[in-house]
Amino acid sequence: MTDPELSVIIPAYNEAKYLPRYLPTVFASLRAWETVSGRLGEVIVVDNASTDETATVAKELGARVVTELVRSIGLVRNTGAREAEGRMLFFVDADVALPLEGITAAVAAMDAGAVGGAIPPLYTPSRFGARLLCAYWDHRRSRHGGAQGVNQFCTRDAFKAVHGYRPDYFMSEDMEFFARLTAHGRTAGGPVTVLENLRVRPSTRRYDDWSTARMLWWQNPVIVQLCLTSPRFWRNWYTTTVR
């Protein structure tokens, strides 16, 4: 069998409830690209010490499952990249719906010379305050040229060149990674491409179940910068996330 050229990497902690809703959109996007291109991809779910049936559900849905026991989102993504076989890496969260053309567009960007890129998220929480908070972060992202980790992609060579995600960052590891990826692209002569004409659709579970004030506390840029490497500070974000 031909080796996969693209590896989709999905970090997952206690996502058994959400994988049946979102993982099929990943496979649909992957199959659409495979059909058009004649190339192959793979889907890797990195089970981050889940206490539910995440691994079982992921396997039943067709994914390859690997395990990372240390609770660090950067480390989880790095583990998936280490296990991946593709020369292109496509990172997406477990509670994110991909557009059908998403993987095709990402691969086209890398085939055209981009070292990587992202598809921006479209959050649609029910409360007005939460929508304002999401709009602020989207504006901040677009103004500063960043990209959130709900979806990022890059070539394997670029990933290795920037040494992957920082495992000691418990928040904003995605923005920090994308900044280094962008800098690498300038040096290597390949751009990063943010596919602004597309959107991935993440779950709004946290925005809907937590108060806007609570979300503002956890996503305040000052707090984030002061506590990037503190596992104690982020323990509630990691262990009591809305399921």
Is residue 193 domain-resident?
yes
Measured over the CA atoms of residue 204, residue 136, residue 78 and residue 169, the dihedral's sign is: negative
Is residue 87 domain-resident?
yes
pLDDT of residue 171: 76
Is residue 122 domain-resident?
yes
Length of the chain: 243
Crossing angle of the two packed helices 128-144 and 212-219, in degrees rounded to 10: 20
Phi, psi at 148, each rounded to 5°: -75, 155
**For residue 46, what are its two tokens?**
């990195």
pLDDT of residue 145: 65
pLDDT of residue 85: 97
Q: 103: domain range?
A: 6-239
Domain count, the chain: 1
pLDDT of residue 228: 73
**CATH code where residue 119 lies:** 3.90.550.10
How many angstroms separate the first and last alpha carbons of the chain?
38
pLDDT of residue 135: 75
Is residue 1 domain-resident?
no
Largest CA distance in the chain: 52
Collapsed DSSP state (helix, strand, coil) of residue 6: strand
pLDDT of residue 127: 81
pLDDT of residue 234: 66
Report the Cα 100 to chain-centroid distance in Å. 17
Please tell me the distance from the alpha carbon of residue 195 to that of residue 191, in angstroms, as a whole number.
12
Is residue 56 domain-resident?
yes
Neighbouring residues of 31: CB distance < 8 A, sequence distance ≥ 6:
none
Is residue 166 domain-resident?
yes
Neighbouring residues of 96: CB distance < 8 A, sequence distance ≥ 6:
22, 121, 150, 151, 200, 201, 202, 203
pLDDT along the chain (243 residues), means of 10: 90 95 98 97 97 97 97 94 98 96 98 96 81 73 72 98 92 89 94 94 80 70 70 69 55
Is residue 230 domain-resident?
yes
Is residue 147 domain-resident?
yes
pLDDT of residue 240: 61
Neighbouring residues of 226: CB distance < 8 A, sequence distance ≥ 6:
none
